[in-house]
């Protein structure tokens, strides 16, 4: 091998080593972003403890103590879902968000009305089959209202005078409030209706549990970026700058559990898995986008080194590996600067300022390193185009892979085209 070729090989190996070493600060940046994300989540939990957590609610259901003739001393609850449940919700996100340190947490108050009815006579007939082996203690029945975090409850009223003495209780798989409901008179008197209204404070999301044979949910809110969480999607929805409306209809056939069950037979995981609802999506999540940017960091540092190597080769002005190392550190600090600025001024403006600072720095530095103002300015322009591509990859949800693949192929093809006639054995490399 010729000495010159050996020198070029050594420099290429050194540059590869520098690029690999720069992965260390990038991994540290990923850890920093994860730490800041954890602090953001801790801030949200702190706000939730004082205001109200992520909420889910379910329609009222009946809990009736049952004993058997074979063991009259043992009592367990029999849970009965209503035949019909209509829920209407007006969800108002507060204009003044709760702020803890650097972190804003959207909070809301949901005005909820739940109406429906039980056909208890039909359910009792199904349970007993006309026999007497089961004894239902109808005088000890309770109406259960599932609510994830009762701390967010801002008042509860009922059209039924007897359903106004709700209090927390245990025994049901998920948190509920209970009110005594004496139905010992005549369970065959016809369907029993309920009509409850309450205000519920919460943060970040509101879900519904389809605890009825037929559930209709109508929601309206002032949040312009709702997400519809895992579960049933709304049958109708409308979203604009002023807010959203969304409607659901869920049947008992759509669930994995029945309309009635005995205590202990249906776990909390099964009930919660049927939930659906609304997520207060924050469209610009600076930590998610910063994470995506850092994940592309190694690739873009390699592309930047390839660009510099191409420029120095065409300009016949060698750049020392130490200069490559300094520029690589500048490329790494870009991501730290981006994160720090984004926490205060938002991701878009932070990205623009960090990119402008990086391009100016690289342009000035390469003007001196290449001893050419034209080459330095051109390099700054190339960096600007490169980081414009990075912004596209970070912010694009659907076309990031396609755009990245096409851009990478184009850059590689351009490099190969510009260097196709270079005799690397004859090329002087410092």
pLDDT digits (tens, 9 = 90+) for 136-182: 888 888 899 999 988 888 888 887 766 668 888 888 999 999 988 87
Distance CA 244, CA 224 (A): 6
Chain-centroid distance, C-alpha 171 = 31
For the cut 90, the answer to whether the pLDDT of residue 88 exceeds it is yes
The residues near 430 (Cβ < 8 Å, ≥ 6 apart) are: 7, 11, 318, 320
Q: Nearest CA to 82 among 210, 205, 189?
A: 210
Q: Report yes or no: 130 and 188 within 8 Å, Cβ to Cβ.
A: no
What Cα–Cα distance (Å) separates residue 141 from each residue in 163, 181, 297?
A: 12, 5, 62
Backbone angles phi, psi at 30, to 5 degrees: -60, -40
Secondary structure, 3-state, 350-387: HHHHHHHHHHHHHHHHHHHHCCCHHHHHHHHHHHHHHH
Alpha-carbon distance of 364 to 367, in angstroms, equals 5
**SS3 state of residue 212:** coil
Cα dist from 131 to 76, 79, 188, 193, whole Å: 18, 19, 16, 27
pLDDT at 2: 42
Greatest Cα pair distance in the chain: 105
Alpha-carbon span 289 to 307, nearest angstrom: 25
Burial of 249 (0-12, 13-18, 19+ CB in 10 A): middle
DSSP 243: E
Q: How far apart are CA 97 and CA 90, in angstroms?
A: 18
What are the pLDDT digits (tens) for 94-138?
876 666 656 777 889 999 999 999 888 888 877 776 555 778 888
- What token pair was written down for 202? 């919460």
Q: Please, what is the average pLDDT of the chain?
A: 82
C-alpha 80/C-alpha 143 separation (Å) is 10
**Alpha-carbon span 179 to 184, nearest angstrom:** 15
Q: What proportion of the chain, given as a percentage, has pLDDT over 90? A: 21
pLDDT at residue 32 tops 60: yes
Rounded Cα–Cα distance for residues 279 and 419 (Å) = 52
Q: What's the angle, vertex CA 230, arms to CA 228 and CA 232, rounded to 5?
A: 75
First to last CA, the chain: 17
3-state secondary structure of 423: coil
Per-residue tokens: 183: 């139905």
> Can you give the residue ranges of every domain in the chain?
3-38+287-418, 53-282
How are strands ordered across the β-sheet holding 192-203? 153-158, 192-203, 107-118, 84-93, 214-221, 243-251, 236-240
Q: How far apart are CA 281 and CA 284, in angstroms?
A: 9
Mind listing the pLDDT tens digit for each residue in 194-239? 899 999 998 888 999 999 999 999 999 999 888 887 788 899 999 9
Give tens-digit pLDDT for 294-333.
Answer: 887 877 788 777 777 777 776 677 778 888 888 888 888 8
Q: Helix, strand or coil for residue 157?
A: strand
What CATH number was assigned to the domain covering residues 53-282? 2.60.40
Q: Please count the CA atoms within 13 angstroms of the CA of 325 that sit on its side-chain side.
A: 8
pTM: 0.70
**Residue 190: which region, alpha, beta or left (left: phi > 0; alpha: psi -120 to 50)?**
left
Q: What is the pLDDT of residues 39-49, one digit of tens each?
A: 777 777 777 77
Report the alpha-carbon angle 39-43-48, nearest 5. 145
Tokens read off for 391? 């912004």
CA distance 80 to 211: 9
217/247 Cα distance (integer angstroms): 6
Please compute Rg for the chain using Cα positions: 32
CB 141 within 8 A of CB 60: no
- Whether the pLDDT of residue 3 is over 50: the answer is no
From CA 282, how far away is CA 148, in angstroms rounded? Answer: 22
Q: Which of 51-60, 96-105, 170-179, 387-396 has the lowest mean pLDDT?
A: 96-105
| Angle of the 286-295 helix axis to the 297-315 helix axis, nearest 10 | 50
């Amino acid at each position: 091998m010729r000495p010159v070729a050996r020198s070029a090989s050594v420099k290429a190996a050194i540059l590869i080593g520098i690029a690999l070493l720069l992965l260390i600060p990038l991994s540290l940046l990923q850890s920093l972003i994860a730490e800041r994300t954890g602090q953001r989540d801790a801030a949200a939990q702190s706000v939730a403890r004082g205001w109200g957590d992520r909420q889910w609610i379910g329609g009222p259901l009946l809990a009736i103590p049952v004993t058997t003739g074979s063991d009259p001393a043992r009592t367990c609850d029999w849970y009965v879902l209503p035949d019909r449940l209509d829920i209407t919700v007006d969800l108002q996100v507060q204009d003044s968000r709760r702020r803890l340190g650097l972190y804003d947490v959207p909070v809301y108050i949901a005005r909820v009305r739940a109406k429906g009815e039980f056909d208890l006579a039909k359910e009792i007939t199904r349970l007993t089959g006309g026999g007497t082996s089961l004894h239902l203690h109808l005088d000890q029945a309770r109406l259960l209202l599932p609510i994830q975090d009762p701390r967010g409850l801002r008042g509860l009223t009922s059209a039924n005078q007897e359903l106004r003495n709700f209090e927390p209780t245990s025994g049901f798989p998920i948190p509920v409030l209970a009110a005594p409901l004496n139905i010992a008179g005549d369970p065959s008197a016809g369907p029993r209706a309920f009509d409850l209204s309450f205000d519920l404070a919460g943060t970040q999301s509101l879900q519904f549990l389809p605890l009825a044979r037929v559930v209709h949910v109508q929601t309206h809110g002032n949040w312009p970026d709702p997400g519809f969480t895992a579960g049933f999607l709304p049958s109708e929805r409308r979203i604009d700058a002023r807010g959203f409306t969304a409607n659901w209809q869920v049947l008992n056939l759509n669930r994995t559990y029945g309309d009635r069950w005995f205590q202990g037979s249906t776990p909390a995981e099964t009930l919660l898995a049927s939930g659906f609802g609304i997520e207060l999506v924050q469209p610009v999540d600076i930590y998610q986008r910063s994470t995506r940017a850092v994940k592309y960091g190694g690739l873009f540092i390699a592309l930047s080194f390839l660009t510099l190597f191409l420029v120095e080769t065409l300009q016949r002005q060698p750049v020392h590996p130490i200069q490559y190392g300094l520029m690589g550190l500048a490329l790494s600090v870009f991501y730290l600067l981006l994160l720090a600025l984004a926490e205060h001024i938002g991701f878009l403006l932070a990205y623009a300022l960090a990119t402008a600072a990086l391009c100016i720095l690289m342009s000035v530095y390469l003007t001196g390193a290449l001893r050419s103002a034209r080459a330095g300015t051109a390099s700054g322009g190339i960096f600007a185009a490169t980081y414009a591509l990075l912004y596209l990859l970070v912010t694009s949800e659907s076309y990031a892979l396609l755009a990245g693949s096409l851009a990478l192929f184009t850059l590689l093809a351009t490099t190969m085209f510009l260097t196709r006639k270079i005799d690397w054995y004859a090329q002087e490399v410092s």
